[in-house]
């Protein structure tokens, strides 16, 4: 009987603790919040929560590697100020030194959880232009990155996992293949900034996926002396990338796309453009195996169609003001 009452008491206390669990945790470098480290806050959230949990990050530079694990769904990382709330680290391929797949151990911020949101943050990899060095890696499904700066050089942003990902009002900077991966990712009103002559995207879209990387109402800009940039090349044979209703600067090469020395990819990959403007938007000299879309064809790249999930058909709308 005493043991029964003891267990009941422990259960009651545990229930009260969970009932009082805060929906928002605050991270602050000066100690004025609940934690001084972003990862500490993540590690102290409940696994598989029943509702959205927010980690609010005050201004400051947080030099740490951060990971949202698969058991951290519905977690929102929200910065106080996009330009002044910075998560920063400097891992790169040679520093990691774990063999041919070292790239995938380099992210400053890694999001493996579903239904996660990253908002009002700068995420940077400060290793420099010395090889593969990921700033942000996403592998969760129905994830969103809103009003963020994602800064790096080669391989800045890795979109993976085969799920759907949404980027809005972001600034993404890099050198080579700085947006790459196999996810279905929709970029809206983002600035894509090239720091040297190279390639912007390297999609590895699975053959069965209808969409890969889709850019709509974006701006492709560059450092002033950059003048020879390809929109993309196929990391894997069935790569898919589309650029619609966007501004393309003069740094975009007339041919637009590259086959990465893979003639087969010219038949199996899918690169498309529609109604772009700017000095790099002329399609008259584009490679013949890319596509100039008609209006009817462009309709299939509407956000609602690209990001549709049968169980959560309009999941991304809840994220917008």
Domains defined for the chain, CATH in brackets: 24-319 (2.160.20.10)
Q: Residue 312: what pLDDT?
A: 83
Exposure letters 287-318 (e unless 16+ CB within 10 A, then b): eeebeebeeeebeebebeebbbeeeeeebbee
pLDDT of residue 162: 83
What is the CA 314 to chain-centroid distance, rounded? 19
* Gap between the Cα atoms of 18 and 193, Å rounded: 45
Question: Which one of the listed residues 91, 141, 177, 258 is annotated catalytic?
Answer: 177
pLDDT at 20: 56
Residue 21: the pLDDT is: 75
Structure confidence at residue 313 (pLDDT): 78
Q: How far apart are CA 237 and CA 269, in angstroms?
A: 6
User: What pLDDT is stored for residue 310 in this prediction?
Assistant: 80
Which pLDDT value is given to residue 308?
A: 87
Residue 152 contacts residue 106 (beta carbons within 8 Å): no
Q: Which two tokens stand for residue 184?
A: 């279905």
Q: Which of 114, 115, 141, 155 is catalytic?
A: 155
Residues whose CB is less than 8 angstroms from the CB of residue 205 and which lie 6 or more positions away in sequence, other chains included: 182, 184, 211, 212, 213, 236, 238, 239, 240
173: enclosing H helix or E strand: strand 171-174
Residue 321: predicted pLDDT: 66
pLDDT in tens, 82-96: 999 999 999 999 999
pLDDT of residue 192: 99
Q: What is the pLDDT of residues 210-266, one digit of tens each?
A: 999 999 999 999 999 999 999 999 999 999 999 999 999 999 999 999 999 999 999
Q: What is the pLDDT of residue 299?
A: 97
- Residue 314 is predicted with a pLDDT of 78
In the chain, which residues have pLDDT < 50? 2, 4-19
User: Residue 67 in contact with residue 104, Cβ under 8 Å?
Assistant: no
Residue 155 known to be catalytic: yes
H-helix segments, 145-222 = none
């Amino acid at each position: 009987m005493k043991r029964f009452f003891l267990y009941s008491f422990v259960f009651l206390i545990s229930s009260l603790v969970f009932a009082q669990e805060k929906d928002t945790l605050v991270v602050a470098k000066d100690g004025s919040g609940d934690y001084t480290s972003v990862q500490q806050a993540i590690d102290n959230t409940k696994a598989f929560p029943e509702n959205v949990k927010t980690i609010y990050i005050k201004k400051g530079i947080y030099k740490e590697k951060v990971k949202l694990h698969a058991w951290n769904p519905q977690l929102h990382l929200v910065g106080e100020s996009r330009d002044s709330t910075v998560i920063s680290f400097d891992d790169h391929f040679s520093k990691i030194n774990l063999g041919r797949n070292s790239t995938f151990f380099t992210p400053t911020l890694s999001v493996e959880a579903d239904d996660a949101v990253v908002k009002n943050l700068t995420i940077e990899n400060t290793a420099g232009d010395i090889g593969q060095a990921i700033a942000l890696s996403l592998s969760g499904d129905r994830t969103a990155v809103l009003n963020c700066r994602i800064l790096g050089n080669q391989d800045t942003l890795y979109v993976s996992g085969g799920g759907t990902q949404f980027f809005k009002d972001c600034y993404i900077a890099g050198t080579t293949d700085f947006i790459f991966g196999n996810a279905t990712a929709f970029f809206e009103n983002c600035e894509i900034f090239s720091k040297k002559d190279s390639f912007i995207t390297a999609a590895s879209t699975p053959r069965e996926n209808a969409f890969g990387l889709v850019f709509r109402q974006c701006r492709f800009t560059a450092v002033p002396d950059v003048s020879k940039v390809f929109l993309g090349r196929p990391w894997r044979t069935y790569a898919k990338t589309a650029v619609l209703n966007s501004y393309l600067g003069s740094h975009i090469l007339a041919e637009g796309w590259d086959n990465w020395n893979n003639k087969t990819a010219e038949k199996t990959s899918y690169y498309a453009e529609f109604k772009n403007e700017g000095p790099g938007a002329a399609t008259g000299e584009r490679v013949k195996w890319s596509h100039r879309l008609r209006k009817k064809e462009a309709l299939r790249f509407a956000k609602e169609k690209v990001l549709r999930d049968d169980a959560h058909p309009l999941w991304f709308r809840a994220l917008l003001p």
